[in-house]
Amino acid sequence: MEQDSILGPAELRRYADAIVKASLGVGKGHTLVVMGEPAHREIVVAVAEAGYRAGAHIVDVLYADPLVARARLLHASDDALGVVSPWAERRFRELAKPASARAAIAGETEPGYLDGVPPKRLSADISRTNTNRAFVAYRRANLDLKARWTGVAWPTDHWAEQVYPELTPIEGKRRLAQDFLWFCRLTDADGKGSAGWLAHVRALTRRSQKLTRLGLTGLELRGPGTELDLRLAPETRWLGGQEESMSGIKVSPNMPTEESFTSPHAGGTEGTFACTFPLSFQGRLIEGLRGEFRGGRLVRLDAKSKKDRDFVAAHLDNDPKGNGRRLGEVALVDSTSRIGQSGRTYFHTLLDENAAAHIAFGAGFGGTRTGKRAIGLNRATVHLDVMIGGTDFEATGITAKGKRVPVIADGLWQI
C-alpha cells in the first residue's frame, strides 16, 4: 500500500469491480459516468479502470467542488441561480438511456460550505434547478428504475474525524474503508470477488418479494417517539437489494444496503415520528428532528435548533405543489444490519439509513406499483430520508381483511 493510499490495490480493485459490474451491470459498449469530488480521486480512478475492464466504451469523470458551488451561490447574478447548462441537460438525457450508468461517490469534504449563504438565494437555486425539465425527467427516470445508478461511500478527512476522532486522518480513513467493505460483504470471509455482495442483495430481493405477496394495505410503525400509521395503496410493490432496470439489467442502487422499501399512499400517513440518528444534510448536522402527520401531510416539524428546523422545512417547501411534506418512502431494516450492529453513527444518510428503519419526505418510487396506475404515489421535486428505527422498533402489517401481521418485532424480521 502506498503511503497515502486508503485501500490496498487488491481491495480497491475488488470494491471498484463490485460497483461497476455487480451493482451497475456495466458491459461491452456501455457508457459509465463517475461523479465525485477531488478528495475521492483514489476510488474515482479505480472505478474508471474497472469500467474499461468491464468493456465500457466511454468512462466520463465529473468532479464537483463544494466551494465552487458556494462561490456561485454567493456571487453569481440572481438570474444565474438554478441555471442548468445545455451540456448538463444533454448529459441528463443521455444518462437515462439503456446503455448508460452512473456511479455517484459520497463522502463529505467541506462541512458547512453553505454557512453564510442567504437562505433566499439557496432556496431560489434549489427550486429553479428542481423545475428544469431535463433534471426533472432524469430524477424521475432514477426513481422509476429507468436509469442505472448507484451511490457508494468513500472516506474523507472530515468523515473520518467524525466517526473515528481518536485516530489520525489516514488511520481513520483506512478504518472507514474497511467498514465499507464489511458492510458491502466484500471481505475474504464473505467469499471471493463480489460473491458475498451479490448473495446479500439477492436475499434482500427475496424478502421484498415476500412483503409484496402479503398484500398489505396498512403499516404500523412503533418506536421511541414514533407512532405512525401508513396506508398502502392497492398494487403496492416492495423493493430492495437488486432491481431490474427497464432495459433488463440488474442494478443495486446503493452500496451498502440493508433495506426493503416501498412508497406509501401519499394521503394516508397519521401520527408522530422522532429521528433516532442525526441528519447530515447539505453540510449541516441536524439533531432532534421530529414531527407530526395529519391527513398524509406533515403539520408539525421540530428540531434541537430552530435554525436547523427552518432549514429542513424550507427544503421540503421548495416543492412547488407542496408535496415535500408528504411521504414518498418507508424502508424497513432490522437489527441484523451490519451497519446497525456496529453501534456507530456514521453521520451520512447512505450509511445511517441502512442501520435502521427510515421514512422519506417527497418523491415516491414508480417501481413500487405493479399496475399501470401509480395510485397514491407522491410526485415531488425533493426526496429526504430520516431515520426512525432502532433496536426496539416494531413494524406491523395490516391486510385487506384487517389481519395484523408482525413484520419486525424484537428488532428482527418476522416474515
Of 157, 152, 150, 151, nearest to 39 by C-alpha is 157
Nearest to 183 by CA among 259, 292, 113, 281: 259
Cα(304)–Cα(72) distance, integer angstroms: 30
- How many angstroms from the chain centroid is the CA of residue 46? 22
Spatial contact of 209 and 238, defined as CB atoms under 8 Å apart: yes
**Could you tell me the sign of the dihedral formed by the alpha carbons of 222, 223, 228, 234, in that order?**
negative
What is residue 286's predicted lDDT score, i.e. its pLDDT? 95
- Identify whether 4 is part of a domain: no
In sequence order, what are the residues at sequence separation of 6 or more whose Cβ sits closer than 8 angstroms to the Cβ of residue 90?
Answer: 134
Which of 151, 183, 215 marks a domain boundary?
183
Determine the pLDDT at residue 339: 96
Instruction: Give the chain's domain count.
Output: 2
Residue 26: domain span: 9-183
User: Is residue 42 one of the residues assigned to a domain?
Assistant: yes
Report yes or no on 193 lying in a domain: no
pTM of the model: 0.93
Cell numbers for 173, please give them: 480513513
Q: What is the pLDDT along the chain (415 residues), one digit of tens a residue?
A: 566 899 999 999 999 999 999 999 999 999 999 999 999 999 999 999 999 999 999 999 999 999 999 999 999 999 999 999 999 999 999 999 999 999 999 999 998 899 999 989 998 998 899 889 999 999 989 988 889 999 999 999 999 999 999 999 999 999 999 999 999 999 999 999 999 999 999 999 999 999 999 999 999 999 999 999 999 999 999 999 998 887 889 999 999 999 999 999 999 999 999 999 999 888 789 999 999 999 999 999 999 999 999 999 999 998 889 999 999 999 999 999 999 999 999 999 999 999 999 999 999 998 999 888 899 999 999 999 999 998 889 999 999 999 999 999 988 999 8
In a domain, 76, yes or no: yes
Same domain, 308 and 402: yes
Indicate whether 174 and 209 sit together in one domain.
no
Same domain, 68 and 99: yes
229 and 276 fall within a common domain: yes
- Nine cell digits for residue 2: 502506498
236 and 178, same structural domain? Answer: no
Regarding whether 226 and 117 lie in a shared domain, the answer is no
The answer to the question of residue 242 being in a domain is: yes
170 and 255 inside one domain: no
**What integer pLDDT is reported at residue 3 of this predicted model?**
67
Read off φ and ψ for residue 147, nearest 5 degrees.
-120, 150
Does residue 195 fall inside a structural domain? Answer: no
Name residues whose C-beta falls within 8 Å of residue 79's C-beta, 6 or more positions apart in sequence. Answer: none
Residues 215 and 324 in one domain: yes
Q: Which of 129, 148, 183 is the last residue of a domain?
A: 183
- Asked whether residue 265 is domain-assigned, the answer is yes
Same domain, 226 and 157: no
Spatial CB neighbours of 101, under 8 Å, sequence gap ≥ 6:
24, 25, 26, 30, 31, 32, 33, 148, 149
Q: Are residues 249 and 333 in the same domain?
A: yes
Burial classification of residue 47, based on how many CB atoms lie within 10 Å of its CB (0-12 exposed, 13-18 middle, 19 or more buried) = buried
166: domain CATH number?
Answer: 3.40.1830.10
* Domain-located, residue 57: yes
Are 169 and 220 found together in one domain? no
The answer on 163 and 207 residing in a single domain is no
